[in-house]
Amino acid sequence: SLRINNLHKRELNFKFVIIGDFGVGKTSIIGRYTEGQFSTSYKITIGADFALKTLEWDEDTRVNLHLWDIAGHERFGSLTGVFYRHAVAAAIVFDLTRPETYSSVEKWLIDLRRKVHLPGGLPIPVVILANKGDVTVTTLPSQIEDFCKANNILSWFITSAKNNLNIDEAMIRLTNAAIQNH
């Protein structure tokens, strides 16, 4: 029989926060994911930014991802609860070419876990994105696997906003988790 999708579909709205140090590629990842574009020029984010991605998840479900993008130069702990409020998943981004940005991942995680929880009180699902994977780097942070296990991180990915590497995969992983928690 003929099925009119729009009438049948349930619509899920999820807020995801994308955090991490300045210049790691948060805005670029979101731009790649939502616009299919990448630019080599660095336009620093001031305050916070916002983008929407709609996924026709399955025959019955449409998912609207509300991607919140912060200014990485904000100091840890200075983000207000408003930024995190009602977030159901997070990506913490670091820059493979700048090891100090990996050191910050734990601080971002602590800030996040302190400021937002699922309605039932459980921590929100988190992925770590090791970005700029298109640039040749000699060493990956060796502790990342252990760090993920110890800190209840869903998964980590080497990503590239430039080459469109693993961004869809990471967002799908988070969306799956958000749907399960829904």
Contacts with ligand GTP by CB under 6 A lie at: 22-28, 39-45, 71-73, 131-132, 134-135, 160-162
**Nearest distance, CB of residue 118 and ligand GTP, angstroms:** 26
Closest CB 82 distance from ligand GTP, rounded Å: 18
Minimum Å distance from CB 139 to ligand GTP?
17
Contacted entry of Mg ion, ligand GTP, none for residue 166, CB cut-off 5 to 8 Å set by kind: none
Name the phi and psi angles at 12, rounded to 5: -110, 130
Residue 45 binds to Mg ion (criterion: CB under 5 A): yes
Measured from the CB atom, the residue of 19 and 165 that comes closer to Mg ion is 19
Site string for Mg ion, 105-134 (x = CB under 5 A): ------------------------------
Token look-up 């996924």 returns 55
Q: Return the residues of window 13-32 that contact Mg ion according to CB under 5 A.
A: 26-27
Beta-bridged to residue 12, according to DSSP, are 63
Binding footprint of Mg ion on the chain (CB under 5 A): 26-27, 45
